[in-house]
Amino acid sequence: MVLVPAEAQIEFTLVKGNVYFISDPAFNTETPHFFVILNANPRTDEFVVLVNATSQVEKRRARAELIGAPETTIVEVSDADYRHFTKPTVFDCNYPCEKTKEDLIQLLQATKLGPFQDPMPAGIVKQLCQGVLDSRIVEKRIKDLIASV
């Protein structure tokens, strides 16, 4: 069996729309979440922009309403839309996260990232990007990484 270095695995999978399954300590939970890459050029950008999926649909909708976020910033994806989802799921595009390639490599080495999942369908990725662009609270520098093609 050939072992592929973590650096190469991350570099190879840094593609817009690809999905990582991450147990991120920053989320204060050991439960892994699905994260979708949104950058137009994640291999060359300073950091990777990701949005995470959650099954806490009503909680995220209420949070978005509380901050007056446009409806387009909450993207619902069903198990029919993405086969790895087993229940109604949303992405809150008001709170994308940033990871450097080094962050992702460290998560992979610590077995906090993986296995790699099927890419998110292009139509959903487009909705996620639009949700981030429509958000009133996402920083311009993040929007620029998503919008640049």
Residue 117 has a pLDDT of 81
Angle CA 123–59–125, to nearest 5: 10
pLDDT tens for 68-94 read 999 999 999 999 999 999 999 999 999
pLDDT classification of 28: cutoffs 50, 70, 90:
low
Find the helix or strand (DSSP H, E) in which 89 lies: strand 89-92
CATH class of 6-147: mainly beta
SS3 11: helix
Element (H, E) at 101: helix 101-109
pLDDT digits over 107-130, tens only? 999 888 787 789 999 999 999 999
The angle subtended at Cα 18 by Cα 17 and Cα 22, nearest 5°, is 125
**What is the Cα–Cα distance from 14 to 20, expressed in whole angstroms?**
10
pLDDT for the residue numbered 13: 93
Residue 149 above 70 pLDDT?
A: no
Lowest-confidence region among 2-11, 46-55, 56-65, 78-87: 2-11
Exposed/middle/buried for 36, CB within 10 Å: 0-12, 13-18, 19+?
buried
Give the integer Cα–Cα distance in Å for 78 and 112.
25
Domain ranges of the chain: 6-147
DSSP letters spanning 22-64: E--GGGT-SS-EEEEE--SSTTTSSSEEEEEEES-HHHHHHHH
The closest of 122, 115, 100, 99 to 9, measured between CA atoms, is 115
User: What does the pLDDT read at residue 148?
Assistant: 61
